[in-house]
Amino acid sequence: MNKNKVIFIVGPTASGKSDMAMSIAKTFDCEIISCDSMQIYKGLNIGTAKESEENRQKVKHYLIDVVNFDEEFSVAQFQKLAFEAMDEIWQKGKTPLIVGGTGLYVESLLKPLSFSNTDKDTAIREQLKNDLEKYGAVELFRRLSEVDSETAKKLSVNDTKRVIRALEIFYKTGKPKSQLQDETQKPNFDYLMIALDMDRALLYERINKRVDNMIMKGLVQEAMSVDNFGYQSMQAIGYKEFKDYNGFNLFEVTEKIKKNTRNYAKRQLTWFRRYKEANWINAFDELTASKLVENFLKS
């Protein structure tokens, strides 16, 4: 019996994943599952570059506007909702098209995370948050490197939410998170991964223009309307930089967003290059993308 099929379109921010996805979805009768850790938040629209309402009416999208911006959302929650969406799409006789640049979300679908069943331990988490306040992010990252170097290699020192979660899992189970993930487990579907690439200078130029457009569309008002930088959602690039906004330093904040976004794009490229099965193509080459999808769906 043939397995169900899934298409992934991945790549760095501002590389044109959404445009490519819309083209593929309309040509091959797909429905889109957003694989973006920020688009799940309601009310954060400009800074997350959500697909337009018009396009979301043309092609059904899943996992956009899932929770309020003041709620927490985990990789395990994404995994559960994404699998449910995939089942719904298959039942319609269509193909799920998973689109986004959040590497851990992609990983959770390709290597199902057994640690998602590890319950939250409020006491341990609160202690770690207190330690973060007291000793700083570098100290927590150092601790994680000592007990779970494999997970630490995949995280940034500033990704304190996931560093704390990994330490919480270790302190609760006595085992590193990396050992609770079955590296040999395969997904129960066949998949094609298309990764978008472009000249680095052009990518950075697109990022800079995108940030300028976000400012023009009202990103300042959107970020300040939330007005609580303690929320998980407000730790994201495009929002956290406004913590230092005083009404007069917009240029400085904008440049910081651009720099942080460029650095994030570099990390995304590094992450996705780990996937040997990825088909890297020019971000504007819709013909090659279509041929890859056509051959995959026929196979």
Based on the domain organization, do 20 and 93 belong to the same domain? yes
Q: 145 and 280: one domain? A: no
The residues, ordered by sequence, that sit 6+ positions from 37 with a Cβ below 8 Å of its Cβ are 73, 78, 102, 104, 105, 236
pLDDT of residue 239: 93
pLDDT band at 225 (very low <50, low <70, confident <90, very high): confident
53: domain CATH number is 3.40.50.300
Same domain, 67 and 151: no
Using CB atoms within 10 Å of the CB of residue 116, give its burial: 0 to 12 exposed, 13 to 18 middle, 19+ buried: middle
Asked whether the predicted pLDDT for residue 155 surpasses 90, the reply is no
Same domain for 194 and 171: no
Q: Does the pLDDT at position 200 exceed 80?
A: yes
Domain membership flag for residue 247: no
Residues 107 and 207 in one domain: yes
Q: Are residues 90 and 41 in the same domain?
A: yes
Domain holding 96, by residue range, is: 4-113+186-211+262-298
What's the confidence (pLDDT) of residue 157? Answer: 86
- What average pLDDT does the segment 212-237 reach? 87
Which CATH number fits the domain that encloses residue 170? 1.10.20.140
Is 216 inside a domain boundary?
no
Least confident range from 98-107, 181-190, 252-261: namely 181-190
Are 56 and 201 contained in the same domain? yes
Q: What percent of the chain has pLDDT over 70?
A: 94
Residue 256 counted as domain residue: no
Burial class (CB in 10 A: 0-12, 13-18, 19+), 44: buried
Q: What are phi and psi of 18, to 5 degrees?
A: -65, -45
Query: Side-chain half-sphere of 256: how many Cα atoms within 13 Å?
Result: 15
Does 32 fall in a domain?
yes
Do residues 35 and 96 both lie within one domain? yes
Within a domain: 70:
yes
pLDDT tens by residue, 12-65: 999 999 999 999 999 999 999 999 999 999 999 999 999 999 999 999 999 999
Which among 228, 263, 224 is positioned nearest to 245, based on CA atoms?
224
Tell me, yes or no, whether 23 and 100 share the same domain: yes
Q: Is residue 255 part of a domain?
A: no
Contact call for residues 161 and 183 (beta carbons, < 8 A)? no
Q: How many domains is the chain built from?
A: 2
What's the burial of 166, exposed, middle or buried (CB within 10 Å: 0-12/13-18/19+)? buried
171 within some domain: yes
